[in-house]
Chains A and B, each alone.
Chain A
Amino acid sequence: MIRSSAVSLALAYSILGFAALILFAFPLWYAWQGTIREGRAEILLADAQRLTDIYRRDGADALKTFIDARVQMQIAGERILLLTDSQLHPLAGNLAAWPKTVPAVTGDYHIQVDMGERGGIQAAFVHVAMLGRYNLLVGRDNRLFAPLEKRFWYGLTGAIAVLSIAGILIGVITRRALMSRVDSIRQTISAIIHGDLKHRLPTHLKDDELNTLSRTINGMLEQIELLVHGVRNVSNSIAHDLRTPLAELRSRLEELALIRPPAAETFQEIDGAVADVDRVIRIFDALLRLAEIDAGMRRSGFVPLDVADLAATAVEFYAPAAELKNIALTFHSDGPLAVSGDPVLLAQALSNLIDNALKFAPANGAIDVAVRRRGDGAGEIAVSDDGPGIADAEKAKVMERFYRGDASRGTPGVGLGLSLVQAVAKLHGYALELTDRDPGLRIVLSLAAQKMLS
Chain B
Amino acid sequence: MKILLVEDNERVSQFVIKGLQEAGHTTDHAANGRDGMFLAASEPYDVIIMDRMLPGEIDGLAIVEVLRKTGKRTPILILSALSEVDDRIRGLRAGGDDYLTKPFAFGELLARLDALHRRAHGVNQEAPLTVGNLHMDPMTRKVNRGDRQIVLQPREFKLLEFLMRHADQVVTRTMLLENVWDYHFDPQTNVVDVHISKLRQKIDAEFDRPLLRTVRNAGYMVTAG
What's the minimum C-beta distance from B174 to chain A, rounded to whole angstroms? 12
B86 with A300: CB separation less than 8 A? yes
Verify A301–B86 contact, CB threshold 8 A.
yes
Chain B CB within 8 A of A116 CB: no
B123 within 8 A of A: no
How far, in whole Å, are A271 and B107 apart by their CA atoms in the complex? 14
A317 vs B177: C-alpha distance when bound (angstroms): 10
The answer to whether B103 touches A281, judged by C-beta atoms less than 8 angstroms apart, is: yes
For B15, list chain A residues within 8 Å (CB): none
A320 contacts B198, CB within 8 Å?
A: yes
* Total CB contacts across the A-B interface at under 8 A: 63
Interface residue B217 (Cβ < 8 Å from any Cβ of A):
yes
A226 at the interface (CB under 8 A from B): no
Residue of A nearest to B189 (CB): A355
With contacts A281-B103, A351-B187, A417-B188 known, is A297 near B194, CB below 8 A?
no
Contacts of A298 in B (CB 8 A): 85-86
Specify the main secondary structure of chain A where it touches its partner: helix
- Decide if B83 touches A351 in the complex (CB within 8 Å): no
Please tell me if A42 contacts chain B, counting CB pairs below 8 Å.
Answer: no
A301 to B85, CA, bound (A): 9
Contact A320 B188 (CB under 8 A): no
For B167-197 the 0/1 string (1 means CB < 8 A from A) is 0000000000000011111111101001101
> Does A38 lie at the interface of the complex (its beta carbon under 8 Å from any beta carbon of B)?
no
Chain A residues in 8 Å Cβ range of B89? 301
B147 at interface, CB cutoff 8 A: no
Once the chains bind, are B194 and A324 in contact (CB under 8 Å)?
yes
User: In the complex the two chains form, what is the Cα distance from A392 to B84 in whole Å?
Assistant: 35
* Interface residue ranges of A341-381 to B (CB < 8 Å): 342, 344, 347-348, 351-352, 355, 358
| A321-B86 contact in complex given A271-B217, A347-B183, A351-B183, C-beta closer than 8 Å | no
Nearest residue (CB) in A for B187 is: A351
Shortest Cβ distance from residue B80 to the other chain A in the assembled complex, whole angstroms = 13
What's the minimum C-beta distance from B220 to chain A, rounded to whole angstroms? 15
Check B85–A316 contact: CB distance below 8 A: no
Are A344 and B185 also in contact (CB < 8 A) when A285-B83, A320-B198 are?
Answer: yes
Query: Known contacts A281-B103, A317-B181, A320-B191; is A344 also within 8 Å of B85 by CB?
Result: yes
Residues of B within 8 A of A344 (CB): 85, 184-185
Q: Which of A278-324 contact B (CB under 8 A)?
A: 278, 281-282, 285, 288-289, 292, 297-298, 300-301, 313, 316-318, 320-321, 324
Complex contacts, B86 vs chain A, CB 8 Å: 297-298, 300-301
Confirm or deny: B209 has a beta carbon within 8 angstroms of a beta carbon on chain A.
no
Q: Is A321's CB under 8 angstroms from B189's CB?
A: yes
CA distance A316 to B158 in the complex (A): 13
Residues of A within 8 A of B2 (CB): none
Residue of A nearest to B196 (CB): A320
Query: B155 on the interface (CB 8 Å rule)?
Result: yes
Cβ contact within 8 Å between B85 and A413: no
The answer to whether A412 touches B189 (Cβ under 8 A) is: yes
A355-B85 contact given A316-B155, A321-B194, A347-B183, CB 8 Å threshold: no
Contacts of A324 in B (CB 8 A): 194
18 cross-chain CB contacts under 8 A: A281-B103, A282-B186, A282-B188, A288-B83, A292-B84, A297-B84, A298-B86, A300-B86, A317-B181, A321-B189, A344-B85, A344-B185, A347-B185, A348-B185, A348-B187, A351-B185, A358-B189, A417-B188
Closest 7 CB pairs of A and B: A320-B194, A348-B185, A321-B194, A320-B198, A351-B187, A344-B184, A321-B191
**17 more CB-based (< 8 A) A-B contacts, given A285-B83, A289-B185:** A271-B217, A277-B103, A278-B105, A297-B84, A298-B85, A301-B89, A313-B181, A316-B155, A317-B181, A317-B191, A320-B194, A321-B194, A324-B194, A344-B184, A352-B188, A412-B189, A417-B188
